Chain A
Amino acid sequence: MTQRRDFLKTSAGVAAGTAVAAPAVWTPSARAQTWDNEPEKGASLRVLRWSRFVQGDIDQYMANVKKFTDKYGIEVRVDNESWEDVRPKAAVAANVGSGPDIILSTNDDANLYPDKLLDVTDLCEYLGAKYGGWYPVCEAFLRPDGKKWIGVPLGASGNIIVYRKSHLQAAGFEEFPKDTDTFLKMMKAIKEKGTPGGFALGNATGDCGWTYWIVWAFGGKLVDKDNKVVINSPETIKALEYMQELYPTFVPGTLAWLDPNNNKAFLDGQVSVTNNGISIYYAAKNSNDPKLKAMAEDIHHSALPIGPVGEPTEWHLFFNQMIFKYTKYPKAAKEFLRFMMEEEQFGEWMKASFGYVAHPLRAFEKNPVWTDDPKATAYRDCVKNMRPAGYAGSLGYASAGAAADFIVPNMVAEAASGARSPKEAAERAQKRAERYYKI
């Protein structure tokens, strides 16, 4: 956690368990560790995962599962639940000590019950060494003490800018703005042209993630490294003042927006700029409606603009893979995750997911999914550019609770809509967050 901004550690550093950031030079395969694991005889596995956002994902995932079963003779039952329902189910499984052997969940779930999870350090070190290392944020989520891995990162569903190129061009912008100042000018310009943008400000669990981006972009953050709440800061207030200028450029009704609203409004042509996964483009491209097909041509993606802090400050939906200690077949479970993460399987799965899931391991940057359709390229660096909602503190009950209570999204919505002044909104967020981080 403390080395978040440092460059990735080498596998040697990882293996030695040192907490010192190693040089930025990466030497692949030379240090690749060997994998030695014999699944238990007669093992069978149950996997609970979030249900697909794009059909290709689950089709390829199940094809990979079948390959695993054919190779090892281990039956794997895969259950799907909407991603928000996985969280309570995983928590209950952890609580009662029985349930699926492996759960694919989201965000800081693993940090809620690290003691109930199987240590997968050997597996993560093996994968990290073989595939160019994990992006730093993976360690923030799944290697909380800097030593032991409590889960295997799966990647993240990127949530970046989706925009209509022709509408931007009509307003005099050839490219999507790279910084927040130009972004504001652009949003004002497209509003004047009658093709406004819109970002969710309701209690949307996924699509309100952009509110973290804007706070971080100006240097605000919920907590510091020592989990001290510092959201009420001049930086946060600057971000909220920026929001006061940005909000009037939005299409009306964004305060009520939940996760699906921006998809619907965008595909209906009512919104020209929003934040989303690749699903909007995917839906338009694969539609039989000629109007939507034409729109797909016009849809482009861009990373979120960079603010005064000068580095990407994105939030994305992070995916983890947890093996629970209660499993009867820990070795089979590890073997399953290893198998699914190997290039032959993971690479195919990424391709089939159409860029919906950004990889956690550097080597997959070269996966053709990011170049076959140039429009997917913008989603490539999502895991690289992201931070957890509990940035810059350590993750756990406090960060999960504060995120689930929409403290930051509420603060941004309050200031944007004028329900509270930036100062009041930041003070209120500070008080609410302090209750979670118990000062």
Chain B
Amino acid sequence: MSAVVVRGLRKQYGEIEAVQGIDLDVESGEVFGFLGPNGAGKSTTIKILCTLAKPTSGQATVAGYDVVTQRDEVRRHIGLVFQDTTLDDFLTAEMNLRFHAELYGIPRAQVAPRLEQVMNMVGLWDRRAHLVQTFSGGMKRRLEIARGLMHSPRVLFLDEPTVGLDPQTRVSIWRYIQELKTRERITIFLTTHYMDEAEFCDRIAIIDGGKIVAQDTPANLKAQVGKDRVSITTADDAAAMARLHELFGVEPALREGHVMFAVEDGAQFVPRLFAELAVPILSVSIARPSLDDVFLAHTGATIRDKEQQAEDPMARMKRARR
């Protein structure tokens, strides 16, 4: 059974159509990455899937329940971690989780053992009696993940789980996410605008301007954009470029002292290169296509360019205030 199914989903805010008819299929048990620049419609989609906003048209089911007509059923089966903290700073870590358990009506006998388990999972059991206001940003995010798991949801939504965290903490959050997947039999639906993080996902969907432009495994998406890029430095670049064209039919280009060209399979190509080029080669590097290339191929711009286009002065002010 699919954990999340979305068909023709639209959401209109006044004049602006934030989500313009998208389809998604998320399989049970996978880590699904929803990738796109800020303002592409990621958060709106997640809000609809979490029953916090009603779609203008179209349908969506989460864990088999309709997000409009079976809101309570959906809510019982999902966990949520938002971009901005939703913890009570004036309560202890444990109290925040207990509040959650009571609100979700978790049977009393299950609360204590489950609480210990999820807090251990994120490495915060020793800090359970501390007030949340003493926690760092990374600890708060981990606590939110623990809380989102408290009621054993079938689908865990993580909205930008690593945004605003330092690189080391980002790595540790990802370790928890990976661990979760093996341990909890859970589907994870996350949004991110970090390309490197999307690599950790089983499958990803790229959203741009309210539309899904691609949806597949990272490997397949990269395979679709095609070739590996080979970059060499040689003793005689001009001769090398002429030979490359003549022998292998590629179109080499000279960039910053490197001769660059694209081939189907870079690893297999290199031995032939050394055997046949006849110009001394000083160095070789092969780059597989990255998700950045995928994004570029589907949207015509890099995610960073998109972010800058989308970012108006208000959004920047708001972010600076945080």
Does chain A bind chain B? no
Interface, chain B (partner A; CB < 8 A): none
